[in-house]
Amino acid sequence: MAMSAHEVVRFLRTHYGDRASEPGLLGNGEWSQAYAFALDGRALVIRVGAHPQDFAKDEVMSAVASPALPIPAILERGECAAGHFAVSERGYGVFLDDLDEQGMRAVLPALFAALDAVRTIDTSGTAGYGLWSPAGVAPYASWQEALLSVGDGPENPRTPGWRAALHSSATGSGPFNTAFAALKHMAREMPLGRHVIHSDLLNRNVLVDGPRVTAVLDWGNAMYGDALYDAAWFLYWWPWFPAWSRIDMGAEFMRHWRASSSVPHRWRDRLLCYQLHIGLEAQAYHAFKARWTELEYTARRTLELLHGRT
Ligand SMILES: Nc1ncnc2c1ncn2[C@@H]1O[C@H](COP(=O)(O)OP(=O)(O)OP(=O)(O)O)[C@@H](O)[C@H]1O
Ligand SMILES: [Mg+2]
């Protein structure tokens, strides 16, 4: 499925002729590869992958970008020999993941402003909860159902066989089942608001330059549901980044909410509920990928959160 650099060169040559420069590999992602190139001297990125709806969602989101929420514009999408491609503007900066403590502290205000901008995107012309299609339709009638689909629903076609893999792993299904039982209990109490959620705001999807966020990439996993989910994402993954251990991210969120008079109602329960969901999704994903160390980590982290030992 993966497209070699050679094939990308050939595709750009046939598609754009002399207007395109030689591409250079930017990153080999989980779902696509990205190459930087120039078209008529303009810095762009071509991504090639199997899931055209991911690129289409990026396009939908670039239409609602703003200075606080920069999202590279998509210039062209289509099919090619290796699947689907999207050509977009190139974002510059360093990945959020790679920041040291000082760098992270410097960008926190812009990061919170980006999260606020995501939360205020108008969802009135869209429907449903959970992972949305480029047309703005998500499959679940309630947020609760969307959350519970991690353990109740049919297997996600992108992670086939994860249940069996988890079951036969050294970690086993026990930690998943315990956390899922708790999620079932908590999900009932979650609010019904429908906001855009990015749901993958790490993993080299956010570019920053000093105190500025310069690009928020990869909206393929975006959902409709409670905007606090994106805050829970940071809290869940924070300990994975030793460089940030002296930043109390929960306290930073609270400081931001207080300053903007927007402390979320019942934030403690909501953040815990979504962190359980994130931990369950992660276990399913790592089991599918046969990443046993990460599976063990996420299983343990999720139970620790559940038992209030973090
Ligand atoms: N418009 C862009 N500007 C700059 N860098 C980009 C752009 N689009 C993608 N990238 C970078 O290229 C790499 C591959 O991204 P891609 O979206 O193709 O795959 P992915 O599955 O998201 O990868 P990853 O697992 O690294 O997030 C990522 O590190 C991403 O940050
Ligand atoms: Mg990505």
Q: What is the pLDDT of residue 91?
A: 96
Q: What is the pLDDT of residue 65?
A: 98
Tokens, residue 16: 């754009």
Tokens, residue 241: 């980044």
**pTM for this one?**
0.96
Q: Which atom of ligand 1 is nearest to the CA of 54?
A: 17
- Using CA positions, which residue lies closest to atom 26 of ligand 1? 29
Q: What is the pLDDT of residue 6?
A: 85
Centre of ligand 2 to C-alpha 215, Å, is 11
Instruction: Spell out the domains of the chain, with CATH numbers in brackets.
Output: 5-89 (3.30.200.150), 94-306 (3.90.1200.10)
Spatial distance between the Cα atoms of 78 and 55, rounded to a whole number of angstroms: 10
Angle at 98 between CA 96 and CA 103, to 5 degrees: 70
Asked if 231 contacts 275 with a C-beta cutoff of 8 angstroms, the reply is no
- Using CA positions, which residue lies closest to atom 12 of ligand 1? 27
> CA-CA distances (angstroms) from residue 305 to 148, 151, 250, 277, 284?
18, 18, 13, 11, 18
Q: Indicate the SS3 state at residue 301.
A: helix
> Quick one: which of 227, 230, 218, 223 has its CA closest to 56?
218
Centre of ligand 2 to C-alpha 280, Å, is 20
Spatial distance between the Cα atoms of 27 and 36, rounded to a whole number of angstroms: 9
Q: What is the pLDDT of residue 30?
A: 72
Q: Which atom of ligand 1 is nearest to the CA of 28?
A: 14
Centre of ligand 1 to C-alpha 85, Å, is 13
Q: Could you read off the pLDDT tens digit of each residue along the chain, which spans 310 residues?
A: 567 788 898 999 999 999 999 999 997 777 778 999 999 999 999 999 889 999 999 999 999 999 999 999 999 999 988 889 999 999 999 999 999 999 999 999 999 999 999 999 999 999 999 999 999 999 999 999 999 999 997 888 889 999 999 999 999 999 999 999 999 999 999 999 999 999 999 999 999 999 999 999 999 999 999 999 999 999 999 999 999 999 999 999 999 999 999 999 999 999 999 999 999 999 999 999 999 999 999 999 999 999 997 6
Q: Is 128 in the pocket of ligand 1 (CB under 6 A)?
A: no
Tokens, residue 57: 């969602």
